[in-house]
Amino acid sequence: MTIYELSIDGDNATSLDFPIQDEQEQFLLLAEEKITNNLSVKAQWQEFLVLKKEPKIDMDFNDINDIGVYIISPRAYELLHPLFDDSVEVLPLKSDDGTYFLLNIIQTTDCLDKENSVYTALPGGQILEYENLSIDPQKITCPLFRIPELPYTVLITDQIQDIFYSHQLKGLHFTENEFVTSDF
Quick one: DSSP state of residue 141? -
In 3D space, the residue among 112, 23, 98 whose CA is nearest the CA of residue 60 turns out to be 98
- 68 Ramachandran zone, left/alpha/beta (phi>0; psi -120 to 50): left
Please tell me the distance from the alpha carbon of residue 46 to that of residue 44, in angstroms, as a whole number. Answer: 7
Q: Rounded to two decimals, what is the model's pTM? A: 0.89
pLDDT tens-digit profile of 78-118?
999 999 999 999 999 999 888 999 999 999 999 999 999 99
Render each residue's pLDDT in the chain as its tens digit; 184 residues.
Answer: 888 888 888 776 677 889 999 999 999 999 999 998 899 999 999 999 998 887 667 889 988 877 788 999 999 999 999 999 999 999 999 998 889 999 999 999 999 999 999 999 999 999 999 888 889 999 999 999 999 999 888 999 999 999 999 999 998 988 766 667 666 5
CA-CA distances (angstroms) from residue 138 to 133, 143, 182? 15, 12, 10
